[in-house]
């Protein structure tokens, strides 16, 4: 089914307070497909996930945000949780990195509250985008066509979005498909 992607590299950008499963499930799916994955963060050594409102595990930071470059990766993953994207959207380096991925024409995949970052980077004008339901007004105000489905793919802008942790299998499959240049869904 999935071809090995051993030549691909993906960055997952997170700050403290990311929804843990929104990092771990895509990370495991990407690694199973042979993708090299780096956790990028403004935190220097480790970053803490959350399980909804409860603190979760710590994860090693592979690349500090100030050293991360879009040119070193094939795609970027933006997990949600409310605290994580709220911190990152006011971080100029994080928004600059997201814009660099977009300018380079690389896939950006955001789940749950992660699409807040796409709005902050001004990347969703005219795109079909999905998210956690409470973001729909924000995303529409940023010019997106908000849709309620497990995966929305804006092929021209190379954006993949999903609503919540229940959508992670489809989200991961879509990202791997796009990295394989075999998009899943529309």
Pick the catalytic residue from 3, 7, 51, 113. Answer: 113
Pick the catalytic residue from 7, 38, 51, 112. Answer: 112
- Tokens describing residue 35: 């993708």
CA 184 to chain centre: 17
From residue 119, give the alpha-carbon distance in Å to each of 10, 21, 164, 175, 176. 21, 23, 17, 20, 23
Distance CA 90, CA 21 (A): 23
Residue 67 gets which letter from DSSP? G
φ/ψ region of 107 (left if φ > 0, alpha if ψ in -120 to 50, else beta) reads: beta
Count of CB atoms situated within 10 Å of the CB of 37: 20
Is 155 assigned a catalytic role? no
Is 113 assigned a catalytic role? yes
Q: Which residues are catalytic?
A: 112-113
């Amino acid at each position: 089914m999935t071809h090995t992607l051993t030549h691909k590299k993906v960055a997952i950008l997170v700050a403290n307070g990311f929804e843990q499963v929104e990092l771990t499930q895509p990370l495991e799916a990407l690694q199973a497909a042979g993708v090299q994955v780096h956790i990028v963060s403004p935190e220097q050594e480790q970053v803490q996930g959350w399980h909804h409102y409860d603190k979760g595990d710590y994860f090693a930071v592979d690349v500090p945000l100030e050293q991360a470059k879009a040119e070193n990766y094939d795609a970027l993953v933006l997990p949600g949780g409310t605290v994580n994207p709220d911190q990152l959207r006011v971080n100029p380096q994080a928004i600059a990195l997201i814009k660099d991925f977009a300018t380079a024409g690389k896939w950006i995949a955001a789940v749950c509250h992660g699409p807040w970052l796409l709005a902050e980077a001004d990347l969703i004008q005219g795109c079909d985008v999905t998210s956690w339901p409470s973001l729909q007004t924000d995303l529409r105000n940023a010019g997106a066509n908000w849709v309620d489905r497990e995966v929305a793919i804006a092929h021209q802008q190379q954006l993949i979005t999903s609503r919540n942790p229940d959508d992670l299998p489809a989200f991961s499959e879509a990202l791997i498909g796009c990295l394989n240049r075999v998009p899943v869904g529309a």
